[in-house]
Each structure stands twice: as structure tokens, then as C-alpha cells.
Structure 1
Amino acid sequence: MWPPGRIVGEVLLSLTLGLMAAGIEALADNGGTVRTVAVALAAALLSPLRRALPAIVLLVTAVASGGLDGLAPLLLVAAWSAGRRITAVGRATCTFGFAYVLSLALSAAWALPYLSPAILIMGALATLVSVIVPGLAGRYWSQRRTLADTLREYHAHLQREREMIAGQARIRERQRIAQDMHDSLGHQLALISVHTGALEVDRELTGRQREAVGVLREASVAAMHELREVVGLLRDGTEAPGQGVPPVTAGGVPTHALAALGEEEAKAPSRGVAGIEGLVEASRGAGAAVRLRRSGEVRPLAPTADHAAYRLVQEGLTNAHKHAPGASITIELRYEPDSLVVEVTNGPAPAGGGRSVVSGGQGLTGLGERTRLVGGMVHAGPTADGGFRLAGVLPYTSPEGGAPGPASSGTAETFVDGTGDFRQQLPAGSPGEADPVNDWNGMPKELAKAMSRNRRGSGIAIGCGVAAVIALLLVIAAVLGLVVMAGEADKSMIEPKQYDAVTVGESESEVRKKLPDGVSFINEGLEKGAPPAPKGAKCLSLSSTEFGSSLDKTPVYRFCFRDGKLIEKNSFEVKG
């Protein structure tokens, strides 16, 4: 199915060719209104068919244009289109060869009574200009577009290859970072957890000290769990089973303590919306006044969005504890029709309760990147009462439009790559039917240099060369046309003094010696509108070298013979 733009273009082209055909036929006055309308309809109907049947339309137009002058514009368009769409060299050569021979043969047959070498050469050049030159220009255009599409495809291939290499490099770097984090931080966190666990059961500790040690142990276990999540995401996006606590014992700590640590870590709360309740309880346990409100119908989120919601609340609580200790905190989860809105708002810090803390703003920056990867957005800023508000909008579906996976799948695909560079997208249509955006910066140096040097210069040079050839052929055809017209005028036209020199009663042979034979295409149609000839007479009509009384009138001299003598001569004007 053609796009609307092409349909409009084809309709306008068909109408233009039909009107041009009708105008040419009307000026030629070769067959009246019926013939004019028929030629116009033929031109309008053949025009859109040239896309599907370029060879057939070219041959039919070449044959028909020999006797129908109105199809000459269509012949140019059909030759151009056939040159673009007939890709095989052999088929194109045969098609244009047949079209050229048929058109030249029919033109010669039409001019057979007046055929001369000059007329034949002029016809050959005219056929060359109307058939071969547009075909060559169309073929050059098609080959240039094919070359451009090939270069574009090659460029896209280089882009994909470069993206694959960069992706592999990123994977190797992520694996290296994950291994370093696992080997260093994992080991130290395991030691902290084990030692605090052993210290917690020390009978010499007071209740307050034992409670503080318990908080440290739980924090270290949570840190270990989060470290495992990050390591799993850096490696391949999933947690590898069996990669629990590092299999080491430090300072003579019993191995059953490590096993207990692994069990506690396995019971760690979810890092999604379901885990926000645990964050609230932990903050309340630290003495903060935290309210959690939910509204709307609860709906599941994609794993990445679910994890982002947890991180957003965690970052909001962390900032409130750091910058406004003692202030009230409100957490709100609003399930809207298309997204989850998460808000963490804290009031102003109590007088004298603020502390000077170092903050580089990396938490909010990382949170913004995390939410953008899942198709959401984050806003952070002060409130009217002097507090602070952190809000995020998280869609229920992934950026690719897929349905959210189950929240319990355990997969949190936080780090994702782009869907692809626009330069990797190739046109879906046939070559030459679309112009996708493309830059040439990723080409090899030699190819880019060749394109930059030859792309415009070669096109201008070839275009100028084709125009020069066409202009030369037209000049030659014009010169030959003048020569032919001069020769034909000598055979068909006389001056008034030659007309006056002939007298009625002279012998036919003497009169014909003084006059040209009149066999020329210039004298066609001189009998239309002429007065009746004498009965039984044989007449010779010749054009006058003088102009008529008006532009549409042609002066004619007629000589009529009977029984070997000139019995009548008269002059008149005919229309044409």
C-alpha cells in the first residue's frame, strides 16, 4: 500500500501528463476531440503502471508515441522510471534497445514518403534524447541510492559491532568490580557481623550495651545482604545461589556462628515496596516519628520499579535523619491508575537539633538515574514550612511496555542498556523509498574521506556531464532540424514571382520544370479548406514563402492539370 504522500504525487503526475497529452494532441489537430480524450486517458492510466510494469509501459509508450504526439512527455517519464527500476543489466539493455529501435522505426515509417538521411539522423537523435538519456539518468540515480543504502547498512553494522564490543567491555569491568567488592567488603562485613554476634552474648555487657551491639549486628547483616544484591546485579542481574557469607573464619570464631549469620541474612527483609514497612520500623526504633500512609488499589510493579521505590524511601529517611534529626517524617504511597507515587516529607529540624553533615548529593543523583531507567522521575525540594520533600513517580510497566514481572521473582534489573542507537535502525521499505537519519562519523577513515571528497563533487560533475551531453544532442538536433527544414522548403515552397511566371495553358511538363515537386511533410494538410478542384484535374499544391493574413493562416498556391496542360491556377489561405 502506497503512503498518502505518494498517492497524491502519482495522482498529480497522472493529471499533469494527461493534460499535456491533451494539449499536444489539440494543437496537432490530428483526430478531433475523441482522439484527444483517448490519448489523455492513456497517458494518465499508463503513468502509475510504470512503477509495477516499467519495461512494458516503456515499450508500449515507445510504440504508441510514434503515431501519438501527446505521449511524448509520458515517454520521458517512463524511460526515467524504467532506468530506476530495471536492475538487471541484461534486461535493461534489451528493454531500452527494443524501445529505441521500435520508436525510431515507427518514426521513420511515418516519415517514409519524405525520408532522407538528415531526417533519419534527426529522428535518431530525438529518440536518443527521449528514451536512452532519461533511462541512463534514472539508472544512475538508482545506483547512487543503492550505494547510499549499502553504505548506510555498513555503517549500521559497524555501530552494532562497536556496541557489542563496548557491552563486552562493560560486562568484564562489572565482573571485576563485583569480584573486588565481594572479596574485600564482603570479608570485612562478615568479620563485623561475626564479632558483634559473639560480643552480643558476652555476659559482662549491660542491657543497654547488648542492645547497641544487636543493632550493629543487624545493620551489618543488612549491609551484607545489600552487598550481595549489588554484586549479583553487577555480575549478571541475578543473585547467584550459594554465594553467601565468605567461607572464612576470623580470629578463631566458630563456624556455627557463620552458619547462623547466613540464616539471619536469608531472613532479611525484601528490598521492594514490601520492605518499606521494615524501614519505617527501623526508623521508629531509632526514635524518629514516622507515619506511613497508603492510598489507592495496590498493584504490582516491575522488579526494577519495586526496588526503586524501596531505595527512594530509604534515601528520604536517610536524608531526614542526617539533616533534620528529630523532625517528624511522613511517607505516602499513592497507587494512581498508571503509576505509583512515593513521597517522603519531613518537617523542619527542631531548634538546636540540626547538625553539620557532609553530603555530596550523590544519593539523590543516583536515585534520579535509577528512576529514569525504569521510566519514572524524581523531584526533591524544600517545603513551605521549612521541611523537605522527596517524591518519585514509578510506572507499573517497564519502559519497553512489557508487563511487570512478579515482585517475588528476586530479579532486580537495575542496570540496563539503551534499546539501541537510532543509527542502527535500517529502513523497512525498499531501497530508495525512505531517507533515514544517518551520520557518517563511524565510517572507516578511508571510506569517510572518499565520501566527503566525492559525494557532492562527483554528483555535480556527473550531473553537469549529463546536462552537457543533453544540451549537445539538442544543439545537433536543432542544427539538423534547420537543415532538414531548409531542404524541405526547397521542395515544397515557392515565391509569389514564381507563381506569377506560370500562365494557364502551358504544358504540364514545362510548368513542373519551373516548380518543385511538392513531396514534403510541410505540405500535409494544404487541401483542408481549399476550394474545389476542377473535375478530372490533377492538382499540385505548394506553400508560399510569404506569411498569411494571420498567424493561423497559411498561403497556398495551387496548379491544376488536365490533358497535359495547366487549366487553372489560384491562390488561397488554409488554416494551419
Structure 2
Amino acid sequence: MLGGLLVCALAALLQAGDSGGWPSGLVVGASAVLYALRRGLPGPVLVVAAAGVGGPSGFLPLLVTAGYSAGRRLNRPWRAPAVLALGFPATLGVALLQNRRDHFPLPVLLGLCVAGYLLVGVLPAVIGRYRAQRVALLDSLRERNEQLLRERVMIARQARLRERHRIAQDMHDSLGHQLALIAVHTGALEVDRTLGEQQREAVAVLRQAATGAMRELREVVGLLREDAATAPGGVDAIERLAAASGAAGTPIELRHEGAARPLAAATGHAAYRIAQEGLTNAHKHAPGAPITLTVRYEPDALVVEVANGPGGDGAAAVSGGQGLTGLRERARLLGGMVHSGPQPGGGFRLAGMLPYTPEGARAAVPDDEELALLSADLEEPGKRRRPALGCALGALGVLGAVAAVAAVGAIVFVSSLRDATVAVKLYDSIEVGQSEESVNERLPVGSDFLTGDFHRIGPPVPEGAHCRWFASDRGSGTDGQDVLRFCFKDGRLVEKQHFRGKV
């Protein structure tokens, strides 16, 4: 809408300074209609606008927009050049008809048509073609990169599934076998009559721990074998975990704070692992020390905290094992964090904060939302198309042709100026009564293009005579143009006039 108003406004301004006699309302209205049709009919609008430029100057803004639109929308290689080739004869034909009034020399008219059409019609078409090719190339590259990224994601996921299956098989064959042996041997020890009551209780705890470990191992193996399986353990399983851990004789206090709310499976499993790791470290590095296990529902995150009293320094848990490192990585992928360290009054504290919605998580393999961020890695520089190069060469060709036409026009103008100028000394040496033939031999050929306006100034032409007008070599000034006129009748020079007037 704004572009149409701008085209109409420029057309009205150009028509205000055009003395060609064309109705301004007609030119502005035609520009508005053709501007509205340029998208659906880019070729015909360009040809009509090119024909219009040969007449009234108000069609110039329309030709610029029509050329740009044709360059963008005529996608077949031959259509845009064909339409542009049809537009120039239309411009030249209307310009020749208009020249009956303007009296431009044919070379000058042809140069103006070529230069104007190249600048106003062809150059915008080249720019529009570059824009269309660039958009098409970017869309093609985007689609290609998305396809390659999807293939890479698929390959990575397949490789991950194969690795998960391998790990699951190894765990089942090695660790599962060892845990089964532990459970069998502890079961046999539990019914051994040579053991005391206290020893039987310790063996029972070991058997329950082995049985629980085997159950979790089966769940983990199932999780590894099936990518969509539900993660083992959760906030609800923390209470059973605390009870099993307290059966070893360590006092454990379990606290629930805040209103419980539903959690994602990955978040619940991470909370379970934090509690499990904290209890394991407390038993290992501070045996017998009281433990406080807290599950707190904050407004924006779930906090799981395991704190044990004095009984060990906990240094090995911080510096030696891989459990805390794995917990931190698990929490990071969910958008949370894990903190561990000694307490001021003695003992050790492990706390994890997990958001309810893991928006900050980033999988190790990129998903569909990350495809656009990885496109630069998959581009092949050696196979890139370069539409800018071809369009730049086209634009340089247009500008070069315009420069050549301008140079030729300058030469023609200088030649015409020389042909239309007579020295005052030559004027003084020519006398009335000399034959027309002898006078014309001494005068230059003249130029109606440069001297056509002289016909309207000066004294009246003698009756029955025909005249030739020339510019004086004294040039022009603020007070007017110095004009020389030679009038002939019946083959003789009947009058010569030297006057000054404003054109």
C-alpha cells in the first residue's frame, strides 16, 4: 500500500514538470492500476510500463517497480530476458512517436532510450533477480541442512541405542551374576544354625541389599534396552530407600516439607539417585553417624538434601568417587544443580536442586529445536552456489553499457554543439545577396535539437523565406542566448539577424 502511494506521488511530481501534454490524472491512475497488477502479471506490466516511459515521464517510478517485480517473479531462465527484450522496442516506438514534437536527433533519442531503459528497467530487474535467487538458495540450504541434521540425529540415536544395549548386556552378564551369587550365599548363611542372632540380622540386611540391588539392576537394564522405559526409582521410592538404609543400624530421619506435586520421571529418578548417593556416602565415610534426609518442595524446584553428623570427614566422597560427578551431570541435563561439602559444625551435606519442568535440559544428541544452530557445520563451501556473482556481473554489464551510451552521447552532444555554433567573424563576413549554396557551404550543418527553441524568439521571419538558426560563439548569459539567423528566398540570402533573447 505504501509503495503504491509512493509510486503515484512520484508520478504526479514528474508529470507536474512534464510539458508533453499528457493528462496527469490519467498517468497517475494508470500507474496505480499497473502497480496493483505487477505481482500477478509481472511480464505484461513491465512491457506496458516500458511503453509508457517512452511518452510521459510519470511512468518512470512504475517501470522501476515493474522491473524489480519481474526480476523476482519470472523464475524461468528465458522469461525475464524475453520480457525485458520486448520492453525496449515498446519504449523506443512510443519515444519515436513522441519525438515528432520534441525533434530529438535520432542518435540522441536512441542513446537516451537505451541508457534510460537499462537504468530504470533492466537494473531493477537484475536486483530483483538477485533477491529471488538469494531467497531460493537460502531456502534450499536450510532444507538441505535440516535433512542432513535429521539424518545425523538418527545415526547418533541408533549408535546410542546399540551402545545402551551393549552396556545392558554386559551388566546383566557380569554384575547380575555376581549379585545373584551374593543373594544365594547370604540366603544360605541366614539359615545357618551356627550363627548367632546378631549375625543372622546382619546377614539378612546383606541379603535384602543384594535382592534390592538385583531389582534395581533389572530396572536399569530394562531402561537401557528400551529408550522409552520409565526411569526406575522416584520420590515415592525414597521412603523405602531410607527404611532399607536404616535397617543397618544407622538412625535416619526422613522429612517431607512443602506440598507434594507431580514430577517428570527423569526428575523423580534424579531425586532418588541423589538420596541414594548421599546415604551410601554417609554409611561409607561416617558409619554410625545420624542422618537427616529431607525432601522439600520449593515454589520452583524440588530440593533433596542428605546431611550426616560427625563421624567421618567425608573427604573421600568429595575427591575420590565418580558418584557425585555423575549426579552433577544428571542434574545439569535437567537444568538443576548439586552441591556437596562439609558442614560448619562437623559432618557432611549433599543437596540437589531440580526444577519441576526440565526446560534447561539439553540432550547429548541434538533435537529438532537445535537443528538451526548446527547448520554451519554441514555446509560444503566447495559446492555453494553464488547467485550474487552472476547478478553482480549483470549489474556491472548494465552500468558498463550505460557508461558507454553516456560516452557516446557526450561525443554526439559535443559534435551537435559544434554543428550548431557559428563564429561572429564568420557571420560578419557573410553578406546579404549571396547565393544560398555559397552561404551553406560556409555554415555548419546545424542541429535542430539544440536550436529548435530559437524559432520562438527574435524578429519575425520575412514572408516567403526559410531560415536557419545558429548559436553564437559568444555563448549565453543571464540575459539570454546570443542567436544568429540566416533567411533565404529564391536561392539568395535575403536577411541575416544577430539578436539576443531568452529561450
TM-score range, shorter chain: 0.7 to 0.9
Counterparts of 1:508 and 1:367 in 2: how far apart (Å)? 113
The match for 1:372 is 332
The match for 1:408 is none
Counterparts of 1:19 and 1:239 in 2: how far apart (Å)? 68
1:313 to 275, 283, 293: 275
**1:235 counterpart = 2:195:** no
**1:572 counterpart = 2:494:** no
The match for 2:237 is 275
Cα deviation 1:482-528 (Å, max 9, x = unaligned): 34324543664444345556778999999888767866332354467
1:163–1:378 CA distance, 2 compared to 1 (3 A):
same
The match for 1:105 is 93
The match for 1:297 is 259
1:321–1:533 CA distance, 2 compared to 1 (3 A):
farther
SS in 1 for 2:341: strand
1:553–1:567 CA distance, 2 compared to 1 (3 A):
closer
Q: Is 2:274–2:327's contact at 8 Å kept on the other side of the alignment?
A: yes
Q: Is 2:487–2:496's contact at 8 Å kept on the other side of the alignment?
A: yes
Counterparts of 1:106 and 1:385 in 2: how far apart (Å)? 100
The match for 2:475 is 547
**1:201 counterpart = 2:191:** yes
Q: Is 2:465–2:488's contact at 8 Å kept on the other side of the alignment?
A: yes
1:437–1:317 CA distance, 2 compared to 1 (3 A):
closer
SS in 2 for 1:548: strand
> Residues 50-449 of structure 1 correspond to what in structure 2 (within 5 A)?
54-55=42-43, 57-69=45-57, 72=60, 75-76=63-64, 78-111=66-99, 113-116=103-106, 119-120=109-110, 123-124=113-114, 126-128=116-118, 130-132=120-122, 134-136=124-126, 138-139=128-129, 142-143=132-133, 146-147=136-137, 149-237=139-227, 271-347=233-309, 349-350=310-311, 353-354=312-313, 357=316, 360-399=320-359, 417-420=365-368, 422=370, 424-425=371-372, 438-439=375-376, 441-442=377-378, 448-449=381-382
Of the structure 1 ranges 503-512 and 210-219, higher mean CA displacement relative to structure 2 is found in: 503-512
> What is the identity, as a one-letter code, of the residue corresponding to 2:341?
G
SS in 2 for 1:111: helix
> What is the identity, as a one-letter code, of the residue corresponding to 2:277?
E
Q: Is 1:55–1:95's contact at 8 Å kept on the other side of the alignment?
A: yes
Cα deviation 1:234-280 (Å, max 9, x = unaligned): 1113569xxxxxxxxxxxxxxxxxxxxxxxxxxxxx82111222233
Of the structure 1 ranges 75-84 and 87-96, higher mean CA displacement relative to structure 2 is found in: 75-84
Of the structure 1 ranges 48-57 and 86-95, higher mean CA displacement relative to structure 2 is found in: 48-57
The match for 1:246 is none
> Residues 471-490 of structure 1 correspond to what in structure 2 (within 5 A)?
472-486=400-414, 488-489=416-417
What is the CA-CA distance between 1:216 and the residue it aligns to? 0.9
Counterparts of 1:541 and 1:220 in 2: how far apart (Å)? 123
Cα deviation 1:333-391 (Å, max 9, x = unaligned): 332333222233334x24xx558757634111211222233333323334444444333
SS in 2 for 1:299: coil
Q: Is 1:344–1:391's contact at 8 Å kept on the other side of the alignment?
A: yes
Counterparts of 2:93 and 2:339 in 1: how far apart (Å)? 80
* TM-score, with structure 2 as normaliser: 0.78
1:475–1:62 CA distance, 2 compared to 1 (3 A):
same
Q: Is 1:325–1:354's contact at 8 Å kept on the other side of the alignment?
A: no
Counterparts of 1:219 and 1:134 in 2: how far apart (Å)? 80
Counterparts of 1:400 and 1:563 in 2: how far apart (Å)? 103
Counterparts of 1:296 and 1:538 in 2: how far apart (Å)? 116
What is the CA-CA distance between 1:303 and the residue it aligns to? 1.0
Counterparts of 1:355 and 1:373 in 2: how far apart (Å)? 26
**1:522 counterpart = 2:450:** yes
Identity %: 44
Counterparts of 1:437 and 1:542 in 2: how far apart (Å)? 75
Counterparts of 1:531 and 1:144 in 2: how far apart (Å)? 61
1:293–1:45 CA distance, 2 compared to 1 (3 A):
farther
Cα deviation 1:182-204 (Å, max 9, x = unaligned): 22322332232233234323344
1:386–1:503 CA distance, 2 compared to 1 (3 A):
farther
SS in 1 for 2:502: strand
Counterparts of 2:401 and 2:261 in 1: how far apart (Å)? 77
- RMSD of aligned residue pairs (Cα, Å): 4.7
Of the structure 1 ranges 80-89 and 65-74, higher mean CA displacement relative to structure 2 is found in: 65-74
The match for 1:410 is none
Of the structure 1 ranges 308-317 and 474-483, higher mean CA displacement relative to structure 2 is found in: 474-483
Q: Is 2:105–2:449's contact at 8 Å kept on the other side of the alignment?
A: no
Q: Unaligned 5+ residue runs, structure 2?
A: none
Q: Is 2:313–2:347's contact at 8 Å kept on the other side of the alignment?
A: no
> What is the identity, as a one-letter code, of the residue corresponding to 2:106?
S
> What is the identity, as a one-letter code, of the residue corresponding to 1:372?
R
Q: Is 1:296–1:335's contact at 8 Å kept on the other side of the alignment?
A: yes
Q: Is 1:62–1:103's contact at 8 Å kept on the other side of the alignment?
A: yes
Q: Is 2:69–2:128's contact at 8 Å kept on the other side of the alignment?
A: yes
SS in 2 for 1:547: strand
> What is the identity, as a one-letter code, of the residue corresponding to 1:106?
V
Cα deviation 1:29-75 (Å, max 9, x = unaligned): 6479x95x998999899889866764455334323322344655764
